[in-house]
Amino acid sequence: MDSLPPEGLAFVLGYLLGSIPFGLLLTRAAGTADLRGIGSGNIGATNVLRTGRKDLAAATLVLDALKGTAAVLLAGYYLSADAPVAAAAGAFLGHVAPVWLRFRGGKGVATFLGALIGLHWPTALAFAAVWLGVAAVTRYSSLSALLASSAAPLVLYATDNELPAVVVAAMAALLWVKHRENIARLLSGTESKIGQKA
């Protein structure tokens, strides 16, 4: 690891933090059903909510976001100027494809937002505004995440953050891939709305 450049170290740090499966750990500690056997099988807050524990879902959402923020801030403080961008990518990848769970993770929305908070808080605010606006109009959580993630690299590019814009665009593309089943349901009109049982 000593031979890795700062950006490589940042990516590894981000991946390790991002791969902590808080949803799985919290639900196991609470004695609820194994997340991987219910709903979508994902480890994120949406699937935790399907256990009936809103408190655990909220905690998962916050912790999944914080691991993205922590990775970016730690990399920026201890490593190079470009390290936070690498840490953001690592944290996001760690969440959606954690090696400990055979690369079967969550969809990455909370970690995506958390990484944005660390990278460029105005973009994080824009992400949240788009998410809330689309959710208020359509009540589709998945569509809100898809459009908000698409807006993020555009905001970064418009504010002269070109490298972060490129990396966040790649993260957004992977987020879209992770939402492919949701996209299919949106197109067929069968996607569940916020507050509606799946």
Q: What is the pLDDT of residues 33-74, one digit of tens each?
A: 777 777 677 788 888 888 878 899 899 999 999 999 999 999
Structure confidence at residue 196 (pLDDT): 62
- Identify whether the C-beta of residue 144 lies closer than 8 Å to the C-beta of residue 130: yes
In a domain, 62, yes or no: yes
Range of the structural domain that residue 173 is part of: 6-188
In a domain, 45, yes or no: yes
**Total domains present in the chain:** 1
Structure confidence at residue 68 (pLDDT): 97
Higher pLDDT, 116 or 195: 116
Structure confidence at residue 93 (pLDDT): 97
Average pLDDT over residues 80-91: 95
In a domain, 155, yes or no: yes
Structure confidence at residue 195 (pLDDT): 66
Structure confidence at residue 2 (pLDDT): 57
In a domain, 34, yes or no: yes
Structure confidence at residue 162 (pLDDT): 95
In a domain, 80, yes or no: yes
The yes-or-no verdict on residue 13 having pLDDT over 70 is: yes
- Identify whether the C-beta of residue 35 lies closer than 8 Å to the C-beta of residue 24: yes
pLDDT tens figures, 145-161: 999 999 999 999 999 99
Closest CA to 95 of 83, 113, 107: 107
Closest CA to 174 of 101, 107, 104, 120: 107
The yes-or-no verdict on residue 142 having pLDDT over 60 is: yes
In a domain, 117, yes or no: yes
Structure confidence at residue 34 (pLDDT): 77
Tokens of 13: 């740090």
Average pLDDT for the chain: 91
Structure confidence at residue 147 (pLDDT): 97
pLDDT tens figures, 106-128: 999 999 999 999 999 999 999 99
- CA separation for the pair 106, 159 (Å, rounded): 29
In a domain, 198, yes or no: no
H helices within 19-82, ranges in order? 22-30, 45-49, 54-78
